């Protein structure tokens, strides 16, 4: 198993004291910050926009992985990049001209990601993998943290991994929603390389410990 990345989802952080949670993540073994932007149209919830992303950038010592759950994301890519996004992920379901949108993201210098809702099959990405740095598989319906992991995601990860291997692509597979210590190993074994985790990290008594436990999964096996 190759070394995977951990991306704590700040949606589950304490917004009345973000600096404290960012300090914890900065000191932890986490690799990225996962930043959920919701518009109340693509998903039935509103989170925050670029001014908050900009403030987060100042506090973050690690890359910002910005997940846009918004309609017409192509209108805001430049602004999110300027606000500090290092990875920008748009939803397949929100992009009629996905190829153009991914190009637009790469032109800003950010890594380009595509997210799939639980009902969207991975084979739809067959002709766009080369333009895609990361595929985010939603393992809950987007819009809220703290939901239950949808197990059908596991065969989706495997199928996507096979497609990536066949095409010899370098695309990363990120899994988002309901991820925690109880299922992380299965998700990684299926072929994922980035784990997003919100409530299982920030809801824990010792979040830094959960991050290091998530990070060390598979390592023991590699050492023998
Ligand atoms: C859901 C978001 C997720 C969410 C994950 O729409 O995309 O990133 O914050 O939260 P947990 O880990 O609590 O399911
Ligand atoms: Zn997300």
Instruction: Flag whether pLDDT at 72 surpasses 90.
Output: yes
Instruction: Flag whether pLDDT at 223 surpasses 60.
Output: no
Local confidence band at 70 (pLDDT 50, 70, 90 cut-offs): very high
pLDDT of res. 219: 78
**127 catalytic residue (yes or no):** no
Instruction: Flag whether pLDDT at 77 surpasses 70.
Output: yes
Instruction: Flag whether pLDDT at 198 surpasses 50.
Output: yes
Enumerate residues lining ligand 1, CB below 6 A. 9, 11-12, 34, 36, 67, 140, 142-147, 176-179, 196-200
> In the chain, what are the domains?
5-223 (3.20.20.70)
List 36, 39, 86, 133, catalytic entry: 36
SS3 labels along the chain: CCCCEEEEEHHHCCCCCHHHHHHHHHHCCCCCEEEEEEECCCCCCECCCHHHHHHHHHHCCCCEEEEEECCCHHHCHHHHHHHCCCEEEEEHHHCCCHHHHHHHHHHCCCEEEEEECCCCCHHHHCCCHHHCCEEEEECCCCCCCCCCCCCCHHHHHHHHHHHHHHCCCCCEEEEECCCCCCCHHHHHHHCCCEEEECHHHHCCCCHHHHHHHHHHCCHHHHHC
What is the 173 CA–ligand 1 centroid distance (Å)? 16
**36 catalytic residue (yes or no):** yes
Rounded to two decimals, the pTM is: 0.97
Average pLDDT over residues 49-63: 98
Local confidence band at 217 (pLDDT 50, 70, 90 cut-offs): very high
């Amino acid at each position: 198993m190759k070394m995977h990345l951990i991306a704590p989802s700040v949606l589950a952080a304490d917004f009345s004291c973000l600096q404290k949670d960012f300090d914890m993540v900065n000191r932890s073994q986490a690799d990225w910050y996962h930043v959920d932007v919701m518009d109340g149209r693509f998903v039935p919830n509103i989170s925050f926009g670029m001014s908050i992303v900009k403030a987060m950038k100042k506090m973050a010592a690690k890359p910002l992985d910005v997940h846009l759950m918004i309609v017409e994301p192509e209108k805001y890519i430049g602004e999110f990049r300027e606000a500090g996004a290092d990875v920008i992920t748009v939803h397949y379901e929100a992009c009629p001209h996905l190829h153009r949108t991914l190009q637009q993201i790469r032109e800003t210098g950010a890594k380009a990601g595509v997210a799939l809702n639980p009902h969207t099959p991975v084979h739809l990405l067959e002709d766009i993998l080369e333009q895609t740095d990361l595929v985010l598989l939603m393992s809950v319906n987007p819009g809220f943290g703290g939901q239950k992991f949808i197990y059908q995601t596991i065969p989706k990860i495997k199928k996507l991994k096979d497609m990536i291997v066949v095409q010899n692509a370098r695309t990363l597979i990120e899994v988002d929603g309901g991820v925690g210590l109880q299922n992380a190993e299965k998700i990684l074994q299926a072929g994922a390389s980035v784990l997003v985790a919100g409530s299982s990290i920030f809801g824990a008594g010792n979040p830094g410990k959960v991050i290091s436990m998530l990070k060390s999964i598979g390592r023991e096996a590699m050492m023998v």
